[in-house]
Structure 1
Amino acid sequence: MASHAAALLAISLLVLWTSPAQGGANDAEDCCLSVALHPIPGNIVRAFRYLHIQDGCRVPAVVFTTKRGRKLCAPPDQPWVDRIIRRLQKKAAKNKRHSS
């Protein structure tokens, strides 16, 4: 029960507000204002995308989309972020092989 409550607390702390990119591109993209400092449980993530400074964002980030559709901002230089991305890429490659 305590671990479930801790996970819910961590997830709720990780849901960060986003705002449109300022300047740069005409097609404003959502940017992260900050990133999560604590690991996101990999089993709740279904997709990811990168946000770069050169895209007009002030904070570089990886945006994870959860199975419930929430967007969570994470720092791209953390090992736990790399592990989640590798797992998602491996799963996508496996699904692609099975659908061919």
Structure 2
Amino acid sequence: MASPAAALLAVSLLVLWASPAQGGANDAEDCCLSVALTRIPGNIVRDFRYLHIQDGCRVPAVLFTTKRGRKLCAPPDQPWVNRIIHRLLRKSAKSKGHSS
């Protein structure tokens, strides 16, 4: 099992800088330059957004926002990415169902 320092280092290395979209709409959207090859721990993620090629991005990705506000780029076709997204959607649906 990896030490906490090694896990923190791995997550830190996964933080990939976003850049404005090349071409596309006037309102430049952040795009990922590459995606994480290592699994991102789902418990650090608070939000997500899809970044599509048709929106002007060169790399299709899921942009996760961590609880600390960092942006992590993940490949949209990976099962672990879909599990995190489904968990976030379930959590969002539950919170909307309880707020009245």
The bucket for the TM-score relative to the shorter chain is over 0.9
Match of 1:36 in 2: 36
Q: CA deviation at 1:24?
A: 1.4
Give the residue type in structure 1 aligned to 2:69. Answer: G
Match of 2:12 in 1: 12
Match of 1:76 in 2: 76
Greater shift, 16-25 or 75-84, is seen at 16-25
CA RMSD of aligned residues (A): 1.2
Match of 1:56 in 2: 56
Q: How many residues align?
A: 100
**Structure 2: distance between partners of 1:80 and 1:72:** 14
TM-score scaled by structure 2?
A: 0.95
Match of 2:92 in 1: 92
Give the residue type in structure 1 aligned to 2:72. Answer: L
TM-score scaled by structure 1?
A: 0.95
**Structure 2: distance between partners of 1:3 and 1:46:** 24
SS in 2 for 1:50: strand
- After the TM superposition, which segments of 4 or more aligned residues of structure 1 sit over 6 Å from their partners? none
Q: What is the identity percentage for the equivalent residue pairs of Structure 1 and Structure 2?
A: 86
Give the residue type in structure 2 aligned to 1:68. Answer: R
Q: CA deviation at 1:27?
A: 0.7
**Structure 1: distance between partners of 2:27 and 2:2:** 44
**Structure 1: distance between partners of 2:2 and 2:22:** 41
**Structure 2: distance between partners of 1:42 and 1:13:** 16
Give the residue type in structure 2 aligned to 1:37. Answer: L
